[in-house]
């Protein structure tokens, strides 16, 4: 698997969080993590709220709501 901070670094670098990365984050958050890893996750949340990181899952949800 990886580390939360690795996934966060990649998302911050690219400005994008893929579905696969979101799934990995969910799995990693189910086990005990260091305070540093949790801080990295909070940093990702903040970046997403500020629009610095786009989430593939939100983009797909938005597209599914558009009328055809």
Query: Which pTM value belongs to this model?
Result: 0.83
List, as one string, the DSSP characters of 20-53.
Answer: HHHHHHHHHTTS---HHHHHHHHHHHHHHHTTSS
- The half-sphere exposure of 49 on its side-chain side, counting CA atoms within 13 A, is 6
Q: Does 42 have pLDDT greater than 70?
A: yes
60 or 34: which leads in pLDDT:
34
What pLDDT does residue 65 have? 83
- Output the pLDDT for position 50: 97
Is the predicted pLDDT of residue 13 greater than 90, yes or no?
yes
């Amino acid at each position: 698997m990886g580390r939360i901070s690795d996934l966060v670094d990649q998302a911050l670098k690219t400005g994008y969080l893929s579905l696969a990365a979101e799934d990995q984050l969910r799995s990693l958050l189910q086990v005990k993590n260091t305070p540093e890893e949790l801080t990295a996750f909070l940093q990702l949340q903040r970046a997403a709220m500020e629009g610095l990181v786009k989430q593939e899952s939100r983009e797909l949800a938005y597209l599914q709501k558009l009328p055809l």
